[in-house]
Amino acid sequence: MARLLDAAENASPVEAVEAVTGELGAALGARSVAFLIADLGGRALVRLAHVPLGDAGAGRRDGTEVATVMPFDGGPAEQALRTQAVQVVAERDGWTVLAPVTDRGEALGLLEMTLPDEPASRTLDEIGRTAHVLAFVVIANRRHTDLYEWGQRTTPFTLSAEIQRRLLPASFTCEGSSFTLSGWLEPAASIGGDTFDYSLARHELHFSVTDAMGHGVASALTATLGVGSLRKSRRHGIGLVEQADAANADVAEHSAVPGSYLTAVLGRLDLRTGVCALLNAGHVPPLLVRDGDTRPIPLPGNFPLGMFAGADYRAGEVTLRPGDRLVVVTDGMRERNAANLDLPTLFRSVADLHPREAVRALADAVLDVSGPVLADDATLLILDWHDGHSEERRTSAGADQTRASAALTD
């Protein structure tokens, strides 16, 4: 482990992953070893490679960097990410090992290794632990280079998409002892200003979903004002009503487009009790999935943030029970053909999925009826409540196996 960390630190941020995988490959006598990063669309893996100029190679290129997209097909790679379990595949010339590269439920990609002999259980454990270390290497080094994000972007970004991307949390998924959370944004061709956000305190989980009016750069700028104000207030430790008051005033005063506003759901979950305070500012009502039934959570009505500078805001609350799922969506999940989706039935169909897979399955359902290009962003955040805040997590290589999704079946 010390050699792996030294190799990562001694290499440049661009080469840190290759340095770690190279050390592991040499130690195990591997024929090949690679890191496959999950693309931002959540429906493929991307193989990153560095090749000399002039060398032949398929895939998207940026100078000497090559990114080859490998769409999910239900095979071992997708199964490894979905189940968060190491997969071993017998090949004609050896054995391929696919280990999830995960931290706190965030599936960053896969460690792929080809070995000459069938690996023993002890070897697989070592590969799994190294894949977990690799997750920290990726997280630490992607702060210093665009390489990893370039590899993840299988479609070009517009200016508004670039602005919007910076408003999202660094990780779309988080597992805690008492909860599991995952968010997803399916962007429209012309960005609609959707965002989601979350942050953990010692005994509280803060989260939000917002939807700025309009489309394009103007909408992204309004979203920037709103999210920036909410984060500032949250970090000052003030309550949901005060956060809404401040964001309402900030958007009304500073918006570049007169009359701009954003709808929002703000939440604060007490991790010790399951009591969740919620504030709805002109947004689609949050939904509670309990015992197979889906119901909107009744909350006081409020104006969108920025619509009226002097508006007053009120919050409500719901007490979550173990097994409850809280879902917050934007109106892009309900517009045009998507309005015909039977959300309660859809929620039941993904009830057994980890939120990481559930949000993507729901986004796929919207794309099936309203895609391939959406008229408005479709965003959702899923929060599963387990209770047990005082307990330690039961994890293996960065994931809680008891919460992982089951393997795909034919």
pLDDT at 258: 86
Q: What is the pLDDT of residue 13?
A: 93
C-beta of residue 242 within 8 angstroms of C-beta of residue 314? no
- 2-10 vs 121-141: helix axis angle to the nearest 10? 30
Query: Reduced to 3 states, what is the DSSP secondary structure of residue 188?
Result: coil
* pTM tops 0.75: yes
Structure confidence at residue 50 (pLDDT): 57
In one-letter notation, the amino acid at residue 362 is: L
- Domain 2-151 sits in CATH at 3.30.450.40
pLDDT at 285: 95
| Run means of pLDDT, 10 residues per run, the chain, 410 residues | 86 91 89 92 83 51 78 94 96 94 95 94 93 94 93 85 93 97 82 91 97 91 96 97 98 91 98 98 96 95 96 98 96 68 86 95 84 76 96 88 88
Q: Is 193 left (phi over 0), alpha (psi -120 to 50) or beta?
A: left
Q: Which two tokens stand for residue 273?
A: 């009790």
Domain 157-403 belongs to what topology? Answer: Phosphatase 2c; domain 1 (3.60.40)
| H/E element, 89 | strand 87-91
Q: Where in the chain is the domain with CATH 3.30.450.40?
A: 2-151
Supply the pLDDT for residue 56.
44
Distance of CA 9 to the CA centre of its chain: 27
Tokens describing residue 195: 């965002």
pLDDT computed for residue 157 by the predictor: 86
Give the helix ranges, DSSP H, for 72-120: 76-83
Residues of the chain with CATH 3.60.40.10: 157-403
The pLDDT score that the predictor gives to residue 58 is: 54
